[in-house]
A and B are shown apart, each in its own frame.
Chain A
């Protein structure tokens, strides 16, 4: 969820009211945003430096506001203020318009060269005329681009935004892709000219920009935008040129968004121009730009048309649980920046979705906005009449019954991690071959999450190793899932429910664990010996390095191995930092799911 920092006083000025913190929190709650933190520039700076800070009270108060991840139109102060003002009924829903260039000039044009297909095929553009910047607006303009880059643009991989002072440039523009050595310009915040190859090298030490280098680094050609005089506007998605940089005196802003995803580029462009068109000479107007693609087709951007959508009133009421008439529903929608009007049949709402609301995909999104404007907490609750039967998952039912029985037998339940290191799960217990049947993780940040366990034993040993001061004897158990590879499952792995117990004292406690095994079998209804019973196979456990030689056995039932138990090998104990001997037992519970009890 993105967080936007806005100056409290500027926000309240835009909202035309000084709220108390509680009042503002309440408003946020109702709308579905959240006042996350109240801070100041100074506090944020000192926190970055890891220091405490005395607030002297003169600092501008900053509100950190959490915005829902799909509301790109609220990623700046202008957007938040607009949404809340419309919600409160203070201002009407803005009507965004395209206006042609002044004095009968032709539209600006961007020509896309076919080579861009190789690296970053799309570009969309727009112009804002007569913009009045001041420091706060300028900062907000830059912050919005940052936030969009982080979220919607997926760290510039999908879309990158460049903004330019149009007065320094000469159209038409061309979007090209060239070999890096052929691109030469002075980048933003630099005085020296670089070719693109050297520039990429230069930015390898730049803390912010180096994250974006891999997006184009391996490409044979780099994307670049030129004006008619051959001035470089930008090397997307890395950096703009210094020549066309905007400043506080800039009035005409040229905006280009290059992309690998045309739809996202269009949404990004719409968000930038709609938010800041309020500062245009004529508010809420944007000048269109023609984009000529590689095939010679011309498209005009930005696409500010509202999308018309008809939503059945009955659908809205039947999903929310209200009984609103069409006029009320339409009025509620207008509070959410959606223009609503009663449809001709009187049973539906004609909704106009503005270019700012790219999150509206389906009538259900409209229905939600009616519910929010109506107030979630005003909806009358009712209990669903759905009649169903309760039912436990058989393996969980068995697990819960067995847990109680083992605890009654004197063992204490532990709860350990499913994920662990290869070392703990296989090497430390002398079972290296078991790794072959384990599900493994590709992107673990630490070795603690390398692999999914195939046995509960390492978890019990780790617990014992971490509880050195527990009074002896220690008797612990766990019933939980392990995972093993299984090609008969669609994903290629399956869970196996296992029960494991451990006993530790000054002697091996082998008989204690043997007794636990007998007890588990007794409550599962499996006798010892005979055709229907379980038997113990000591030779079968010879290969298992986890156990002390001669003090271990496989547990056999109906001709197959269902578990094993034994005295833990002293080598294993040492690796887990355990100083007293202990024994363990582990049984596959899945085998006994069908036992008549």
Chain B
């Protein structure tokens, strides 16, 4: 191939040099010397890059034979093939088909009948007979002319096109003239600096090909981190920067007691229905003796009759319901364990956070999954107010680049007051809900043994939603699970949630 290229290059440069007008038609040039036109075009582009020639391109259309047409140009048109195959006294059509093949015989017979070259003689078996003595194969002649790239009659050639023997093909044709650095021979250029050139010093006398800056470089071979987990890391950093301690959320299987009852969520609450929560067959229950007994009693009494200033829910609280094991529906189950532990060890101010998997027995769609990650922040101290909660939410979301927040009253069984967090979305130009927050109810905290003047403020949001917004992903299943395209993992940018506003404004 390289040899062919060199031949083409030499001949092309010679022709341009010999003729003041250069090479007018690259297709003609290729035909005249028996070169492949694609090779010629490649050589023209490479010589142009070296500024040895310049070219103009234009479209040229010409007739070319189809596969069928080429066969007929060789063997004659089907009608003539049929005519020539008819012997004295005629022949059955089936014999013609055997002789010439079904396609040629069918088409040829039809054409020969139309031209009135042949006729059918009826009898026990109908026979095809000649109607004229001799015929001229004009189709074959025309096909051969097209093959030789000669001028042909337009009307006649259209007929052949209809018979799918030829088609009009458009191709790029180049008109080539001398360029600023024209020479009869192309100087050899090196593509890259090699260790040999460095060693021998030959780089000094070597010309280098220009580097193609329009192309992409070689892709690095390293691995990649998952986008959702990159965002998780960034959220962890934000919590650390605010002095939060990470909670041990590595317990997916939880009891109804810690997931619901400890949070003062009544046993008939809709969230405890089988169609919202995954319950377990194995391990089906937490043995009742595995709960702290005195605390369990206080929780039961608070649900049934109240206490700590509350009238309670006024129903029969059942240990069997609390014992049921489930896949935790929120990481707040862990918060309740942590706050209980804190009360037993003696109260100290604490800031806790977690980012981990939670499970909901829900229908899966573009924005909902049966598994997702919950981000949760909890602050426990004496004298905390709703004003503190609003302040800490502003501080937290500011680190995500979200400055405008607004709060809506809401209901949550274990927080009172409860606030939904809305942020202004500059692209959507409206307020969108980004999380939930509130102060844990005294009926949750006081049975644990926390002093009455301790308040606990908390907020939660999903990890998936901000990630989808950040990486502009519309369907959550493109982000999470085994069906995620690995190329998405590879191509997503680094995550800088904590972009300082002064950097952002310059961008």
CB under 8 Å from chain A, chain B span 146-175: none
Q: Is B280 an interface residue (CB 8 A)?
A: yes
Chain A residues within 8 Å of B246, by CB: 391-393, 396
Q: Is A449 an interface residue (CB 8 A)?
A: yes
Chain B residues within 8 Å of A413, by CB: 223-226, 229, 489
Assess the B252–A418 pair: CB atoms within 8 A: yes
Assess the A418–B371 pair: CB atoms within 8 A: yes
Assess the A467–B486 pair: CB atoms within 8 A: yes
Q: Is B241 an interface residue (CB 8 A)?
A: yes
Assess the B482–A390 pair: CB atoms within 8 A: no
Assess the B482–A261 pair: CB atoms within 8 A: no
Assess the B484–A439 pair: CB atoms within 8 A: no
Can you sample 23 A-B contacts with CB below 8 Å? Answer: A34-B408, A319-B385, A363-B309, A371-B417, A376-B417, A377-B407, A384-B384, A384-B457, A387-B243, A390-B241, A390-B244, A393-B249, A396-B246, A408-B223, A413-B225, A414-B482, A415-B481, A416-B482, A439-B283, A443-B274, A462-B482, A481-B357, A493-B253
Q: Which residue of A lies closest to B351 (CB)?
A: A388
Q: Is B317 an interface residue (CB 8 A)?
A: no
Assess the B487–A441 pair: CB atoms within 8 A: no
In the complex, what distance in Å separates the CA atom of A30 from the CA atom of B222? 52
Q: Which residue of A lies closest to B224 (CB)?
A: A412
Chain B residues within 8 Å of A218, by CB: none
Q: Which residue of A lies closest to B440 (CB)?
A: A364
Contact indicator per residue, chain A 430-462, by CB within 8 Å of chain B (1) or not (0): 000000001111111100110010000001001
A408-B222, A443-B279 known; A71 vs B411 contact (CB < 8 Å)? yes
Chain B residues within 8 Å of A29, by CB: 406, 408
Chain A residues within 8 Å of B481, by CB: 415-417
Assess the B385–A318 pair: CB atoms within 8 A: yes
A362-B442, A463-B482 known; A439 vs B229 contact (CB < 8 Å)? no
CB under 8 Å from chain B, chain A span 557-589: none
Q: Is B268 an interface residue (CB 8 A)?
A: yes
A320-B385, A490-B255 known; A382 vs B221 contact (CB < 8 Å)? no
In the complex, what distance in Å separates the CA atom of A466 from the CA atom of B229? 20
In the complex, what distance in Å separates the CA atom of A322 from the CA atom of B251? 39
Q: Is B239 an interface residue (CB 8 A)?
A: yes
CB under 8 Å from chain B, chain A span 394-413: 395-396, 400, 403-404, 406-413
Assess the A409–B482 pair: CB atoms within 8 A: no
Q: Which residue of B lies closest to A436 (CB)?
A: B282
Q: Is A92 an interface residue (CB 8 A)?
A: no
In the complex, what distance in Å separates the CA atom of A36 from the CA atom of B143? 73
Q: Is A64 an interface residue (CB 8 A)?
A: no
Shortest Cβ distance from residue B47 to the other chain A in the assembled complex, whole angstroms: 35
In the complex, what distance in Å separates the CA atom of A467 from the CA atom of B487? 9
CB under 8 Å from chain B, chain A span 459-499: 459, 462-463, 465-467, 470, 474-477, 481, 483, 485, 489-495, 497
- Of B117-125, B181-189, B208-216, B389-397, which stretch is located at the interface? B389-397
Assess the A415–B226 pair: CB atoms within 8 A: yes
A418-B357, A491-B251 known; A442 vs B222 contact (CB < 8 Å)? no
- 3 A-B pairs with the lowest CB-CB distances in the bound complex, closest first: A32-B409, A321-B387, A492-B283
Assess the B278–A406 pair: CB atoms within 8 A: no
B489 CB contact (under 8 Å) in A408, A412, A492? A412
- Interface size bucket, B side? 35 or more
Contact indicator per residue, chain A 21-51, by CB within 8 Å of chain B (1) or not (0): 0000000011110100000000000000000
A364 CB contact (under 8 Å) in B242, B291, B306, B416? B416
Q: Is A531 an interface residue (CB 8 A)?
A: no
A470 CB contact (under 8 Å) in B221, B251, B284, B486? B486
A321 CB contact (under 8 Å) in B310, B385, B416? B385
Shortest Cβ distance from residue A392 to the other chain B in the assembled complex, whole angstroms: 5
Assess the A419–B490 pair: CB atoms within 8 A: no
Assess the B411–A442 pair: CB atoms within 8 A: no
Assess the A439–B282 pair: CB atoms within 8 A: yes
Shortest Cβ distance from residue A156 to the other chain B in the assembled complex, whole angstroms: 13
Q: Is B325 an interface residue (CB 8 A)?
A: yes
A439 CB contact (under 8 Å) in B280, B312, B457? B280
Chain A residues within 8 Å of B290, by CB: 490-491
Q: Is B240 an interface residue (CB 8 A)?
A: yes
Assess the B286–A319 pair: CB atoms within 8 A: no
CB under 8 Å from chain A, chain B span 231-245: 233, 236, 239-245
In the complex, what distance in Å separates the CA atom of A368 from the CA atom of B441? 11
Q: Is B58 an interface residue (CB 8 A)?
A: no
Chain B residues within 8 Å of A400, by CB: 233, 236
Q: Is A69 an interface residue (CB 8 A)?
A: yes
Q: Is A219 an interface residue (CB 8 A)?
A: no
Shortest Cβ distance from residue A323 to the other chain B in the assembled complex, whole angstroms: 11
Assess the B222–A376 pair: CB atoms within 8 A: no
Assess the A409–B223 pair: CB atoms within 8 A: yes
Assess the B407–A495 pair: CB atoms within 8 A: no
Assess the B236–A483 pair: CB atoms within 8 A: no
In the complex, what distance in Å separates the CA atom of A465 from the CA atom of B290? 43
Assess the B223–A388 pair: CB atoms within 8 A: no
Q: Is B314 an interface residue (CB 8 A)?
A: yes
In the complex, what distance in Å separates the CA atom of A493 from the CA atom of B274? 21
Q: Is B386 an interface residue (CB 8 A)?
A: yes
Shortest Cβ distance from residue A425 to the other chain B in the assembled complex, whole angstroms: 12
A410 CB contact (under 8 Å) in B221, B281, B310, B315? B221
Contact indicator per residue, chain B 30-71, by CB within 8 Å of chain A (1) or not (0): 000000000000000000000000000000000000000000
Q: Is B327 an interface residue (CB 8 A)?
A: yes
Assess the A414–B484 pair: CB atoms within 8 A: yes
In the complex, what distance in Å separates the CA atom of A442 from the CA atom of B408? 37
In the complex, what distance in Å separates the CA atom of A31 from the CA atom of B391? 21
A462-B482, A467-B486 known; A442 vs B280 contact (CB < 8 Å)? yes
Contact indicator per residue, chain A 495-522, by CB within 8 Å of chain B (1) or not (0): 1010000000000000000000000000
Q: Is B381 an interface residue (CB 8 A)?
A: yes
Assess the B253–A483 pair: CB atoms within 8 A: yes
Assess the B252–A443 pair: CB atoms within 8 A: no
Assess the B268–A158 pair: CB atoms within 8 A: yes
In the complex, what distance in Å separates the CA atom of A438 from the CA atom of B253? 11
In the complex, what distance in Å separates the CA atom of A481 from the CA atom of B306? 39
Assess the A414–B489 pair: CB atoms within 8 A: yes
Assess the A69–B270 pair: CB atoms within 8 A: yes
Chain A residues within 8 Å of B253, by CB: 439, 452, 483, 491-493
Most A Cβ at <10 Å: residue of B279, B381, B390:
B390
Q: Is B129 an interface residue (CB 8 A)?
A: no
Assess the A485–B283 pair: CB atoms within 8 A: yes
In the complex, what distance in Å separates the CA atom of A410 from the CA atom of B225? 10
Chain A residues within 8 Å of B236, by CB: 392, 396, 400
Q: Is B427 an interface residue (CB 8 A)?
A: no
Q: Is B217 an interface residue (CB 8 A)?
A: no
Chain A residues within 8 Å of B361, by CB: 443-445, 449
Assess the A406–B223 pair: CB atoms within 8 A: yes
Q: Is B495 an interface residue (CB 8 A)?
A: no
Q: Which residue of B lies closest to A448 (CB)?
A: B370
Shortest Cβ distance from residue A161 to the other chain B in the assembled complex, whole angstroms: 17
Chain B residues within 8 Å of A417, by CB: 370-371, 481-482
Q: Is B350 an interface residue (CB 8 A)?
A: yes
A321-B386, A392-B236 known; A438 vs B282 contact (CB < 8 Å)? yes
In the complex, what distance in Å separates the CA atom of A263 from the CA atom of B410? 24
Assess the B278–A493 pair: CB atoms within 8 A: no
Chain B residues within 8 Å of A388, by CB: 243-245, 349-351
